[in-house]
Amino acid sequence: MTMSTLLLVDARNLEPPEPMDRALAAAALLKKGQCVRMLLHREPFPLYAMLETMGLVFRTQLSPEGDFVILFAHAQGDLPV
């Protein structure tokens, strides 16, 4: 995945509602073939329902540092492995 297809949203240590605002802004800009990689210090359960409503797919991973890495895109094939 190239840098032009990966959008990074680093929302670690931001206070609500800023992480949600940034996630939704990135989702609104997301084009087919692109993926958002969002970094958070806690799991964003409310975001998952919103992404589904927008027709986006997502996957959450826990980094070795303890941050949550949420990947979301229009299609499963646009999420990195």
Q: Does 60 reside within a domain?
A: yes
CB neighbourhood size of 45 (10 A): 8
* Coil vs helix vs strand at 11: coil
Distance CA 77, CA 25 (A): 22
Question: pLDDT at position 20, please?
Answer: 96
Q: Does 69 reside within a domain?
A: yes
Total count of domains within the chain: 1
Question: pLDDT at position 4, please?
Answer: 67
pLDDT tens-digit readout, 10-68: 999 999 999 999 999 999 999 999 999 999 999 999 999 999 999 999 999 999 999 99
pLDDT band at 7, cuts 50/70/90?
A: very high
Pairing of strands 35-40, 57-62: unpaired
Q: Does 23 reside within a domain?
A: yes
Q: Does 1 reside within a domain?
A: no
Question: pLDDT at position 81, please?
Answer: 83
- In terms of residue numbers, what domain contains 36? 6-78
According to DSSP H, which parts of 1-81 are helical?
18-29, 45-53
Q: Does 72 reside within a domain?
A: yes
CATH number at residue 57: 3.30.110.40
